[in-house]
Amino acid sequence: MEILSLIRAHKGVQGVYRHRSAVTGTDMTFTVFVPDHRPGAVLPVMWYLSGLTCTHANVTDKGEYRRACAELGLIFVAPDTSPRGDGVADVPEYDFGQGAGFYVDATQAPWAEHFRMWSYVTAELPDLIAAHFPVDMARQGIMGHSMGGHGALTMGLTFPDRFRAVSAFAPIVAPSAVPWGEKAFRGYLGPDRAAWRKHDAVALIEDGARVAALLVDQGDADSFLATQLQPQRLAAACATAGIDLTLRLQPGYDHSYLFVSTFMADHLRWHAARL
């Protein structure tokens, strides 16, 4: 693991790191904020998954999470959204290829060689974080924005014993039923829609996945609300399944990091109460 930078901020240290991933076969960059703590102490860890076109840097630069993490004693980890580099498949469109990994393990050529973000985020990166940082892996929460909100919901529903709290900002809740998700799943996973269900939060709930509670914030001025996000689908699935969903439709807010940063501290406090 290579240290790219260490910068002091809000009574903690913001680090940027790079390592060679055996899962993706590429170099991967991620960030970790570690608040000050007693020697020998271990802290709860928050995983944050970013959305389409983003890298590790978007939330690190614009998420405004460090003050709250320092106050609450939370480590904050932000991976990239896809493999990158020479020889990694890509397309010109923003919603597929590099920057748009959709947190799945691709099975279709040419994506299957490198696009294995599910295994990277749920297995390889946690092992690396546990080996190098003072994290309590018995106290993990996961959150994300847009495509990353999709990833946070599906991973939280798949590993409810690992992630004790799950939240999202403007998530893609039913990717199998909206254009972004249909394009990505068809390209990465092939035409069999049955294979898509384990990466679709609404479908996972319909198929029996359960968590105790979910927190979702959604701006009502989000230009993607009706076509791509459709939080009412998640609300209906949670109501049927008896999942305690707090869905907050925030008046006047859009899809940007100005929206995310506004409610970031709320989410971190919600997670801290459960971790």
CA distance 3 to 27: 13
Question: CA-CA distance, 142 to 70, in Å (whole number)?
Answer: 17
Catalytic residue, candidates 21, 50, 82, 146? 146
* Residue 43 · residue 74 · CB < 8 Å: yes
Distance, CA of 149 to CA of 50 (rounded, Å)? 8
Q: Distance between CA atoms of 109 and 262, rounded to whole angstroms?
A: 40
Task: Give the SS3 label for residue 158.
Answer: helix
How do beta strands 43-49 and 163-169 pair?
A: unpaired
118-141 pLDDT, tens digit each: 999 999 999 999 999 999 999 999
Residues in CB range of 197: below 8 A, 6 or more apart: 176, 203, 204, 207
SS3 state at 242:
coil
pLDDT of residue 36: 98
Residue 211: its pLDDT value, please?
98
Q: Is 222 a catalytic residue?
A: yes
Annotated catalytic residue: which of 145, 255, 267, 271? 255
Catalytic (active site) residue 254: no
Show the domains of the chain with their CATH numbers. Answer: 2-274 (3.40.50.1820)
pLDDT in tens, 235-269: 999 999 999 999 999 999 999 999 999 999 999 99
**Can 217 be counted among the known catalytic residues?**
no
pLDDT at 55: 98
The 3-state DSSP class for residue 23 equals: coil
pLDDT at 189: 98
Q: What is the pLDDT of residue 115?
A: 98
Locate the DSSP E strands across the chain: 2-8, 12-20, 27-35, 43-49, 75-79, 135-145, 163-169, 213-219, 244-250
State which residues of the chain have pLDDT below 70: none
